[in-house]
Structure formats: structure tokens, C-alpha cells
Amino acid sequence: MSKIRVAVAGYGNVGRGVLAALKNNPDMETVGVLSRNPDRVKKSFNEVPVMQISEVDAWLEALKPDVAILCGGSKDDLPVQGPALAAKINTVDSFDNHSRIPEYFKAMDDSAKAAGHVSVISTGWDPGIFSMERVVANAFLPGSRAYGFYGLGESGGLSMGHSDALRTIPGVKDARQYTHAVTEAIEKVRRGENPQFTPGDMHTRECFVVLEEGADKDAVAETIRTMPGYFAPYKTEIHFVSQEYLDEKCSGFPHDGLVVAAGTTGSGNPAAVEYRCQWGSNPEATANVLVAHARAVVRLAKEGKSGAFTILDIPPAYFSMHSKEELLAKFM
């Protein structure tokens, strides 16, 4: 059987994770990397052709990919790149701006449908696996609400978005932000209380901040604690540390999370379901999920489907490299 030919668009943390993940999926092969700056990528990576992403016809012709895994960011890259590429090839991406997913879905659906392509959007672990777990928890336990918690482990979960926000503050040289779940809030949900939470009830935030020389520590702390959306709604702990400390103790991209829902079944018996994941590398976890979805994209396309899809629209068997017979015999 011929392998699925995958082009990887982007060579950031997720893109490099996808390249590594593809090696663990023997039914797929990487045919090329697409980048805005191929020369820079080539300095550290030469295993497959690296091509200019804007020269679409050139790399389509040269690489003949079945699917492109789009590893760009949700803020600036995907809203433009996604619909443009969906007109040219089957795609999968991890667009993760939750509130804009309906709008992005529409843009991708229009573009992919017009071209007869399949585009799976917004997958990874959240949105992605967690979306699926929220839907099935709600379907199997009607009346329950599914809650998401992040950073249950001791170190918490590294938030790139909040780390970036810290680095925009005048006087901050570098920073990392770890999210922590509030254990008592999880216990409330587990007890079936289906509580109303404010964001600050569910999570706290821990910041490791390196100051510029001469910066005003108190002013920076005040700016952090009062930053709307990012920190103001949360109990926030701030540690001022050296660059050496940050580089040594805050490297890597650990993250973890929990989807939990609890309620009752028919005659009032308690019922609770939980999905928990723990990742040493957040971008590599996203990458693994993207790669399994690339397999599903190709299957959907082979069936003659077109348009945008999410994980909610895909049968789980489509993610697996095992045959229907193997799944029935060994996984059911």
C-alpha cells in the first residue's frame, strides 16, 4: 500500500513535532517542509525538500502531497493561510482561538468545498481531544456539564499565550507563566455539583519574570496583577528570577489537563467521567494528534467528501492505522 504523502507547513515547535511524529506512523511519509523562510530552515533541517510556502504550485508539483499539515499560529498565520491552502490541497490545522472557531470553520468550509478538498480544523488536545470528550460526556450524561482544568501536575502547565503577554510589559526581559488547576474546584465537579465558576475559581497563575536592568519590580508586579483577561481575574503568584534560573528551571513545554463531568443516571445513581492527559511537550502532543487527523483527512477525501470537518465529525476508526478487522478483534 502506498504511503500517505504529507507536507508540513511551518517549522516552529509544532512543525518540528509533526516531523518527529510522522516517523512513528509507518503508513505516512514526509515529502517536504513549507516555510516562509526556507533558507533559514535548511540551516538546521535537510532531511526532505524545504520549499517556499507561497510558491504553492511549485511545491504541489514537486512534492505531490496528499495532505498538508498547517503548523502556523492561530492569530496571524492560519486565518489567511488556511483558506488559501484549502483551495489547493487537503489540510489539517490546530486553529485554537476557541471563540473564533465558527467563523474559521465557515471560511475553511467555503474554500475547501469549492475546491473539492477536505480540511480538518482546530485539532490537537484542546480544541481537539478535549472537544470530543466534552461532547461525548454531555451526550452520555445528559444534564451534566463538562469542565476543563489545566495544570493539575506539580509544575502546572506552561501557557505560551500568557508568557507572551508577560513579555509585552515594559521592564520585563523574559518570562514564563504556569497555569495551576484549583483542586477544590475539581472536587466540586467530581461530586456532581455542576457548579457555576468564574475563571478565577478554577485556575491560578504563577509567573516567573526576569526584569530588565533597573526596572521597577513593584510597578511590573502591579501591571501583571491588573492585566485584564490574562491575570486580573486570577490569584496570581509572581517570582522575580534570573535569566539563568528561567533557562534552567523553566525550559520545555509541559502541559496537562482534565475534562470532567459528573451527574446521575436514570434512578439517581451517581455517575462521573474524566479524561486526563499529561504531556512532557505540549507542541509535540498537538503534533501527534494532527498527524492522526492527516490520516483521517485522506480517508475522507478518498470517500469523495469535501469541506471543513472537526474531530466531532470523524469516526474514531479513521484516526487509526489498524484495519477495521484488527479494530473489531483487538480494540473493541
CB 91 within 8 A of CB 100: no
Q: Which is nearer to a copy of itself, 50 or 285 (CB)?
A: 285
CB 56 within 8 A of CB 85: yes
Q: State the cell numbers at 196.
A: 457555576
Q: Which is nearer to a copy of itself, 90 or 236 (CB)?
A: 90
Output the CA angle 152-158-159, nearest 5 degrees: 110
CB of 243 to a copy of itself, least distance (A): 24
Q: Which is nearer to a copy of itself, 114 or 327 (CB)?
A: 327
Q: Which is nearer to a copy of itself, 202 or 289 (CB)?
A: 289
CB of 177 to a copy of itself, least distance (A): 20
CB 69 within 8 A of CB 9: yes
Q: State the cell numbers at 270.
A: 451517581
Return residues touching a copy of itself (CB under 8 A): 16-17, 19-21, 23-25, 98, 101-102, 105, 122, 127, 129, 131-136, 138-143, 252, 264-267, 269-281, 284-285, 287-289, 292, 295, 310-317, 319-322, 325, 327-329, 331-332
CB of 18 to a copy of itself, least distance (A): 8
Q: Which is nearer to a copy of itself, 170 or 270 (CB)?
A: 270
Q: Which is nearer to a copy of itself, 155 or 223 (CB)?
A: 155
Give all strands of the β-sheet with 28-35 in edge-to-edge order.
50-52, 28-35, 4-9, 67-70, 91-93, 118-120, 307-309
CB of 293 to a copy of itself, least distance (A): 9
User: If you ran DSSP here, which 8-state letter would residue 87 be given?
Assistant: T
CB of 117 to a copy of itself, least distance (A): 19
User: If you ran DSSP here, which 8-state letter would residue 99 be given?
Assistant: G
Q: State the cell numbers at 256.
A: 496537562
Q: What is the distance between the alpha carbons of residues 9 and 75, in angstroms, rounded to a whole number?
A: 16
CB of 256 to a copy of itself, least distance (A): 9
Output the CA angle 71-19-51, nearest 5 degrees: 70
